[in-house]
Structure formats: C-alpha cells, structure tokens
Chain A
Amino acid sequence: MVETSAALEPADRAREADAPHSLVVRFGADKPLKLDAGVDLSPFQIAYQTYGTLNAERSNAVLVCHALTGDQHVANIHPVTQKPGWWETMVGPGRPIDTERYFVVCANVIGGCMGSSGPASINPKTGKPWGLDFPVITVRDMVRAQAMLLDHLGIATLFAVAGGSLGGMQVLQWAVSYPQRVFAALPIAAATRHSAQNIAFHEVGRQAVMADPDWRQGRYFAEGTNPRRGLAVARMGAHITYLSDAALHRKFGRRFQDRDNPTFSFDADFQVESYLRHQGITFVERFDANSYLYLTRAMDYFDIAADFDGVLANAFKDTPTRFCVTSFTSDWLFPTSDSRAIVHALNAGRARVSFAEIATDKGHDAFLLDEPELFAIVRGFLEGAAKARGLEIAHR
C-alpha cells in the first residue's frame, strides 16, 4: 500500500478548483455559458495552459483536449502531483505537436476540478462549493466553453484539435459544432457515441462513489469528509478498462507482491491488486469525486448521430476539416470498430480522412504512452496539414 500522507485535504483541492496554478479567464454575467441542460452557467471560469507562440497570422494554434481524468497540464509539471505533464511525449519542443512550431492551448473541461467551473468550484450565489447543484454538462458544453476561450484569446481558426478518449470526443464535437474553425482534427481512441458497455462501467464507478458514506449526497466539502474509498474503487474499476488482458499479464502475471506465498487473507497478495490499490489512492489525491460523476455523465450522454436524426454521416457532410483517426488493436473500451464507424461516416461525408490502427497490447491507455507509431502518424499528418495550410517550416 502507498502512503497517503501527501494527500490533499478537500480544502486544498477546492483552492485548486477556484484559484488554480494556471492561466484563468473569467466570464461575467454578460457572457454566460449556455448549457445543453437548458440553463446558463454564469459567471464561470476556464483554467488553461499554453505552450509555444501564436504567430502573427494567428494560424498556428493547436487545441489539445484532455481525457476524463486529465487536465490542462499537458506538458508542464503538475502543480498537485508534481509529476510530468500527461502528454509530454506528444507535446513539447521537437515533439509531434511541436511547441516550437505550434501554439498549443489546453483547457480544463467545464465540470472539471482543476480550475474550470465544476462541482468543486464555489457557487457564486451561495459562497459554497456547488456540489450536485452544479448543472449537468455535456461534451457540447465543454466545446462551447473552449470556443469562448479561443474567442477571448483572439483565435478564430484552429490549425488542429487533438485528443484521446473523452478528448477525442471533444475533437469530434469541435469538427461538428465549428467545422469552419477546425483545419485538422485528430480524434485518438475515440467514438461518436458512448457504448452501452461503457455507460455500464461508468455507472459502476458512480455507484461506488455514491455508496461511500463520506460522499454525503455530494456535500462532502461542507461536512468535512471525502469519499476516498468510493472514488478509489471507481478508479480501480475504470483503470482495468484502460488496460488489456495482455498488458496486465505482461506487467503482473500472477506474481505475488513482496511475498513468496499467499497469506490466506484479503491483503493485496498479488502485484496486480497492489497496483490497482495504488492507482485508486493516488487518484483520490488529485481528483474530485463529484467531478468524476459529472464528467462520466457527459461521456455517457455523448452521441453525435442523435443530433442528426440518427445519421452520423450528416454530421460531417462536406466538412472542410481534414481528419486523422487512430485506434489501438487492444483497446476494448473504444475499439477500432468505433473509429471505423467515424471513418465510414467521414467517407460518406466526402471528408479528407486518414485512419490508422496501431498494433499494441497496451489497451485504451496506449494514447498516453510511448507509442512511436502514433508519434510518427501524428507528426506526419500535421506536417502534411501544415503544408496545406501554408504554415512556415520551423527554424530549428
């Protein structure tokens, strides 16, 4: 088991939710965020990070969209965990998304807990954390908020939008909501709708959180508790879905943890148990339980075709955006068949699309890991797009 002494107290996390170690833009009453739930969120704020320099033509901006438990700290040391940015292998100087060439923006999603308005933020009307009073948000809402951020930054058109998983859903939503603002789109390990199986997994995670007595109907900040155990269990369950049978076997097999024989108890005898417990505990230190409920819900509600009378192709009809769709062979959460459905719809919409399936045993998480083939594909695709866009070659 891992030490939990470094765990942030709820109050610390609340501070990160309201006054984050990030750039922040606050939208006042004159600029409400119109939510799909039918209410206006106002005032609200977006926390974001940028890397690189916006060129004079303002044509080299790349928006990176983070996944369910990610945040805006793509390529810098994380202020809470002190770990490297979650996509440092992909984004940075000389990386495939080259910050010496592109101006990279990443914003914490609405509903998140790292500085953009979410259930852990202070409700301006009550002076207390929103909790479950925060309106339910959707992927469309996240994208709408990002568009307002880009308006604020004076970026009319994105050179590219990239992201994996929930990030990939946002990429697709960007291309659907604002086709004229997206030159190139890279949805990685994504889908145009959340499957029944994935909704089911999310529901198990939410039930784990809500079954924790410390959850207190979402009012754990006010009551000075923290549903650590529930959120940790949710994370443990979810983490299995991010890996693959083969990867778990390769990493852990049936090996024992710091012992030679079973203890005939319910300790973490196996390495894989110890690993999952560690994943659960470290996650609780940096993530808000209510945020987890809201963001998983947003993914569940995601279904692009539903907005187009059930015909996915209509969502992308004659889109000007060029796409690079990628999937991983061992990803069973967002399997290749999901990416292929995207590609079929794009073909039917006459879009310019590249699609590659990458062979790996690392499962869904492969998009975050060292996958040289993914790097080569993203680099090559962006290179071609930059040429078509007339972006200057980097001087390095």
Chain B
Amino acid sequence: MLKRLKQDLTMAEAARVPGGARVDLLLVAEMVERGARVLDVGCGDGELLRLLAETRAVDGRGIELSREGVNEGVAKGLAVIQGDADTDLADYPDDAFDYVILSQTLQATRQPRLVLEHMLRIGRHAIVSFPNFGHWKIRLQVGIAGHMPQTDNLPYSWWDTPNIHFCTIKDFRHLCDVAGARIERAVALNAWGRALRFNAPWWFWNLMGEQAVFLLSRQSGRAD
C-alpha cells in the first residue's frame, strides 16, 4: 500500500516534468536497482537505456529488431544489437543480467512464453510492460461495436499491426504461472499514465488498467 502510494508520487512528479520520459519507462526505471546489469529487449532507439544510464547508472545492453532503431542507438554510444527477441535470447548464458526488460514488446513476439522463460533464465529479474487487452475501452470496441480495437496506445489496423499476441492482465498472470515466474510487483497504469492506486482486486486492474508493468523473478526450485 505504502509502496504504491510512493509510486504515485513519483509518477505525479514525472508528469510535471515537461518533455520528460514516458511514464511507463519511468516506472520501469524505478524498479531497477542502481548500477545493475540490464538487457532491454526491443529497446527501440534506446530511450529507456539512456534513461537507465542517466538515472540508475546501469550497465545496459539492448536488442532491437528495426535496423534504424539500432543504428540510431549505436550512434548514441549505446550497446545495442540488431536482433530478434524470439531467436536471439537463446545465445545469452544463464544469469547474465540483473534485469531483462521487455517494454511494450511482448505482444509483438511470436512465442511470448519462450521469450519470458529466456528472460527469467538470463536475468535474475524480468520486467515486462504491455498494453492490457482487457481494458474497458477495448472490451467496448470488440464486444459492443464489434470491431478490432484501435486506441491511442494501439493505433494499428488489424491488417498491419505488428502486435500478434495480445493479452489481458489476467492472461499475463496465467503466463507467469505457466512460465514459472514469481510476481514481485505489479502496477497498472490508467489512460493518463497514472498508476492505479490502492489494493484493488485484479479484476478491477484488468478492467481499468490501460497498461501494466510486472516485476518478476524465477520461482524457487525452477531455476534450471
């Protein structure tokens, strides 16, 4: 409870910073210990890696699918490689990182379960943020209006979307069970990027959260 309240203050402060980083990235950054070894899977142009380097002094690496994103990141001096979450995580040894982050990318992977299992294998912690497909706006578009949803966060038409594996917060918790992930912390953000405060039941988060951020670790006894 106290932790969530503190989180809210952080988010509010962040919201006041003009031109500041995206709130979901700030939330992820807040979960990372200072000086940690971090792998950002699907790092885009390296915005989160730079934020982590500046605010948490991390030793950061990134994987990005798009060539433009990678080359921009490398030119900024970041350790970013062109690669694919679905295939390239297998190369990393166990426990290579303190945190492996998958920010707004889970829904675009071909094999989300495999990706999450690799994250838990190569990192002591995994941080996953994703758009919640159970949000009421999406439910309305599918259930009442009868078409695939398009929102500010998910602007694509169904035929050209890179997002092929949507899930709800409830679905993701199921994946955590299946993949052997222990949920250390979870935060849902509303449409304004503010964390939903209070100890609401999961169903409420699943309905009101537009995005979710999970801090995970390996379930004990499954660290094989």
* Contact code string A350-385 (vs B, CB < 8 Å = 1, else 0): 101111111100000000000001001101110111
The minimal Cβ–Cβ distance linking A51 to chain B, given in whole angstroms, is 23
Is A324 positioned at the interface, with any CB of B under 8 Å from its CB? yes
Stretch at the interface among A101-109, A217-225, A341-349: A341-349
* Interface check A228, CB cutoff 8 A: no
From 154 to 182 in chain A, residues with beta carbon under 8 angstroms from any chain B beta carbon are none
Interface string of B56-74 (1 = CB under 8 A from A): 0001010000010011011
Distance between Cα atoms of A376 and B73 in the complex (Å): 10
Say if the beta carbon of B21 comes within 8 Å of chain A.
Answer: no
Closest chain-B Cβ to A330's Cβ sits at a distance in Å of 13
For residues 323 through 344 of chain A, which have their beta carbon under 8 Å from a beta carbon of chain B? 324-325, 340, 343-344
Contact between B91 and A347, CB atoms less than 8 A apart? yes
A324-B67 contact, Cβ under 8 Å, with A343-B81, A348-B93, A353-B79: no
Please name all residues of chain A whose beta carbon is closer than 8 Å to the beta carbon of B82 when the two chains form the complex: 355-357
Interface residue? B184 (CB, 8 A): no
In whole angstroms, how far apart are the Cα atoms of A380 and B75 in the complex?
Answer: 4
- Which A residues are in CB contact (< 8 Å) with B83? 340, 343, 355
Q: How far is the CB of A319 from chain B (nearest CB, A)?
A: 13
The interface residues of chain A lying within 8 Å CB-to-CB of B74 are: 324, 354-356, 377, 380-381
Task: Tally chain B residues at the interface, Cβ within 8 Å.
Answer: 21
Contacts of A357 in B (CB 8 A): 67, 70, 82
B88 to chain A: which residues have CB within 8 Å? 344, 347
Minimum C-beta distance from B119 to chain A (A): 14
The binding surface of chain A is classed by DSSP as helix
**Residue B77 is within 8 A (CB to CB) of chain A in the complex:** yes
Task: Report the minimal beta-carbon distance from A351 to chain B, rounded to whole angstroms.
Answer: 9
Q: Among residues 69 to 107 in chain B, which have CB atoms less than 8 Å away from a CB atom of chain A? A: 70-71, 73-83, 88, 91-93, 96
Q: Would you give the shortest CB distance from A70 to chain B, in whole angstroms?
A: 25
Contact check: which of B67, B77, B93 meets A384 at CB < 8 Å? B77
Query: In whole angstroms, how far apart are the Cα atoms of A287 and B96 in the complex?
Result: 47
- Please name all residues of chain A whose beta carbon is closer than 8 Å to the beta carbon of B67 when the two chains form the complex: 356-357, 359
Rounded to whole angstroms, the CA-CA distance of A352 and B92 in the bound complex is 12
Docked complex: A75-104 residues within 8 A CB-CB of B: none
Confirm or deny: A249 has a beta carbon within 8 angstroms of a beta carbon on chain B.
no
Contact status A355-B81, CB under 8 Å: yes
On whether the beta carbons of B78 and A350 are closer than 8 Å, the reply is no
Bound-complex Cα distance A99 to B80 (A): 26
Give B47 Cβ to nearest chain A Cβ, in Å.
16
Contact A377:B91 (CB < 8 A) given known A354-B80, A356-B82: no
Docked CA distance A387–B78 (Å): 12
How far, in angstroms, from A355 to B83 measured CA to CA in the complex? Answer: 9
Q: How far is the CB of B84 from chain A (nearest CB, A)?
A: 10
Closest to B71 in A: A356
Measured CB to CB, the closest approach of chain B to A301, in angstroms, equals 27
- Whether B92 contacts A354 by the Cβ 8 Å rule is no
Q: Tell me the smallest distance from the CB of B64 to a CB of chain A, in Å.
A: 10
Question: How close is A154's CB to chain B, nearest CB, in angstroms?
Answer: 29
**Docked CA distance A357–B73 (Å):** 12
Is A194 at the interface (CB under 8 A from chain B)?
A: no
Partner of A352, one of B61, B70, B75: B61
Can you offer 12 A-B residue contacts whose CB atoms are under 8 A?
Answer: A324-B74, A347-B91, A347-B96, A348-B91, A354-B73, A354-B79, A355-B80, A356-B71, A359-B67, A376-B71, A377-B74, A387-B77
Measured CB to CB, the residues of B under 8 A from A are: 59, 61, 67, 70-71, 73-83, 88, 91-93, 96
Residues of chain A having any CB pair with chain B under 8 Å: 322, 324-325, 340, 343-344, 347-348, 350, 352-359, 373, 376-377, 379-381, 383-385, 387
**9 closest residue pairs by CB, A with B:** A384-B77, A380-B75, A355-B81, A376-B75, A344-B91, A354-B74, A347-B91, A356-B71, A356-B74
Q: A354-B79, A384-B78 given; name 18 further pairs at CB < 8 Å.
A: A343-B81, A347-B88, A348-B92, A352-B61, A353-B81, A355-B80, A355-B82, A356-B67, A356-B80, A356-B82, A359-B67, A373-B71, A377-B71, A379-B75, A380-B74, A381-B74, A383-B77, A387-B77
